[in-house]
Amino acid sequence: MGLILDTSAIIALERFSGGRDAVVLDPDQIYVLPAIVWAEALVGVRMATDSSHAARRLARLEAIRRLTGIEDFTDVVAEHYADIFTELSRNGTLIPQNDIVVAATARRLNFGVLVGPQDEAHFRRVSGLDVRVM
């Protein structure tokens, strides 16, 4: 089974890198990057305080993308999204919509989700989702 990378995991990777440009992921693990996470990560590049910080951040993201590829939001992912949204809504436990997309992508591929330490709790609201923390 592979792992979907959540934006919080990418942020944690950046923080753990200690300023190094290398991306540290388990080479024996399969990772996938949902398109929505790529978009959120690019916002971080665009919001960087200076061009050198933006360039370093983009280089790390490109390294991750080369390792993972990007998984599109397809009609099948949309079906999973609708199921998860309905389930969470009925339980009164909605999570951010972009995170529902991440969870739906994971369900579609039968993958777990790798998250940063701050996002573990709300991903655990999604039934049957294997959540792993950086």
Count other Cβ atoms within 10 Å, centred on residue 43. Answer: 9
In this structure, what token pair is assigned to residue 116? 């940063």
- Does residue 16 carry a pLDDT above 80? no
Helix (H, G, I), strand (E, B) or coil at 94: coil
Helix (H) or strand (E) holding 101: helix 97-109
Q: Which strands sit side by side in the sheet containing 70-71, from one edge to the other?
A: 70-71, 31-34, 3-5, 112-115, 131-133
pLDDT band at 100 (very low <50, low <70, confident <90, very high): very high
Q: How confident is the model over 25-48, as a mean pLDDT?
A: 93
Helix (H, G, I), strand (E, B) or coil at 131: strand
